[in-house]
Amino acid sequence: MTNKEILRRLLHAISPYKTKLIISMIGMVFVALFTGAQTYLVKDLLDKIFFEKNEDYLHILTIIIVVIFGIKGVCYYVYNFLLEQVGLSVIKDFRARVFQHIHIQPLSFFNEYPTGTLISRVISDVTLMQQAVSNSLVGILRDFFSIIVLMGVVFFLNWKLALFSLAVLPVAAFPIVKFGKIFRKLSTKAQEETAQVSNMLYETITGNRIVKAFNMEKHENKRYNKQLDTLFNVTVKNAKYRCLQHPLMEFIGGVAIALFILVGGKGVIDGSSTPGTFFALMTSLIVAYDPVKRIGKVNSVIQQGLAAAARVFAILDTEPEISDRKEAILLPPFKKTIRFAGVHFRYNDETVALADINLSVPAGQTLAIVGPSGGGKTTLTNLIPRFLDVSEGSITIDGMNIRDVTMRSLRNQIAMVTQQTILFNDTVRNNIAYGSLDSSTEEIEQAAYAAYALNFIQALPK
């Protein structure tokens, strides 16, 4: 996915907040204008006060400076707060979208994306997007307007020196573009390795009993530290280029300022320019150089954000393999028979798990499915609620193909007890009533009593 496409999709995600965005950009323009006014006033400060000794203008200039800084501060607060709010809102939307999208995926999706990787996408990658959108893009927009206004001041004061200054900009832009490509590549690699670290951490924490039972603590420590070393090497390489960019930008800026002093100073000596004009030009260029330097600094953060956005969009672009058909209907209450007719199932359309399964289960009958590990028992049961879909054949309930009914109505008629014990970080009530949160207190207590859990639940602190 190209940077252009990523930015286009990010702009589309920002569009619901365009009113706040427009107001903040107006605030940015005013901040840039007042910054330009501050640098221009250096000319009058030197020429009219230090050289002409104009005391009346001294009092006027003092008031002007106070007013400029006051209004600039208000505008700065407005645009900065609104842009932060927009950035945080967009990130909140992305987290909600990714969470929702993950939960409409079939089980095969979770084989492709391990749990730790998905957690890294929702937490780490989206956080990197937040840093790029909320912080770095805010700075770039602000600095862009500042550079435009300050260069306008330079052109107004001396267009020849302004053209000379513009000639240096392509040289200053070269390291930004060059390092940007390197940052993007290294950021993608670093985020992949971070996802691996998250995945290993999740596995060893959730499987800590297995680790302890087999005395594998040293092995897991060694495996985890090896992964940390890989991540460390990538991030150190990123830091090397990031730290190199700053002194390079400093050197280019220093050369530009030295040449400007040489050319501008000759103008003051031969009388074609005043000291006030020269120092106003110098101030404008120095102030403009800071935004250029800041853009170079945030380049690595933006590249990290773009790489993270590409990974988040990759998940959002994954279409669920299993979904309701447009003409799907509600499944009536189960009364007669569940039937497997010539059912085949292959993982990734390659590995055969089930072949030509024919099975009829009448209502009310208890059926045990036994067989060796890897024999397809779990796969068989996962086909009924459509956690997986048959590759060939059909499964019918009372003669209705389960592909022709909504998954919600199908799963509403299935009670499942898995080998995994999971308690959600919620109330005891909501854990018991999970899947039927509108259950009455009496129904929940009856369920707890039937599970021999009511007494110890009642003894828990409230």
pLDDT tens digits, residue range 39-72? 877 777 777 777 777 777 788 888 888 898 899 8
Asked if pLDDT for residue 431 goes beyond 70, the answer is: yes
Find the mean pLDDT for residues 376-401.
Answer: 89
Asked if pLDDT for residue 168 goes beyond 70, the answer is: no
pLDDT tier at 341, thresholds 50, 70, 90: very high
Q: Is the Cβ–Cβ distance between 256 and 225 less than 8 Å?
A: no
pLDDT tier at 396, thresholds 50, 70, 90: very high
Superfamily of domain 337-411: P-loop containing nucleotide triphosphate hydrolases (3.40.50.300)
Q: Is the Cβ–Cβ distance between 197 and 119 less than 8 Å?
A: no
More confident residue, 66 or 204: 66
The CATH fold of domain 3-316: ABC transporter transmembrane region fold (1.20.1560)
The single-letter code of the amino acid at 83 is L
More confident residue, 357 or 56: 357
Find the mean pLDDT for residues 6-26.
Answer: 85
**Which pLDDT belongs to residue 173?**
67
CA distances from 278 to 41, 99, 117, 282, 402 (A): 12, 58, 57, 6, 81
More confident residue, 253 or 395: 395
Beta strands in 244-350 (DSSP E): 337-347
**Which pLDDT belongs to residue 339?**
92
The percentage of the chain sitting over the pLDDT mark of 90, rounded to a whole number, equals: 5
387 φ, ψ (degrees, to nearest 5): -65, -30
**Which pLDDT belongs to residue 134?**
66
Its pTM stands at 0.69
Distant-in-sequence contacts of 222-227, Cβ < 8 A, 24+ apart: 224/197, 224/200, 227/193, 227/196, 227/197, 227/200
**Which pLDDT belongs to residue 363?**
87
Asked if pLDDT for residue 135 goes beyond 70, the answer is: no
Residue spans of the domains in the chain: they are 3-316, 337-411, 428-458
**Which pLDDT belongs to residue 169?**
65
Find the mean pLDDT for residues 10-31.
Answer: 86
Tell me the range of 200-209, 346-355, 398-407, 444-453 where mean pLDDT is highest.
398-407
Could you give the angle at the alpha carbon of 168 between the alpha carbons of 163 and 174, nearest 5°? 140
Lookup: tokens for 238: 């990123």
HEC sequence for 438-461: CCCHHHHHHHHHHCCCHHHHHCCC
Q: Is the Cβ–Cβ distance between 288 and 150 less than 8 Å?
A: yes
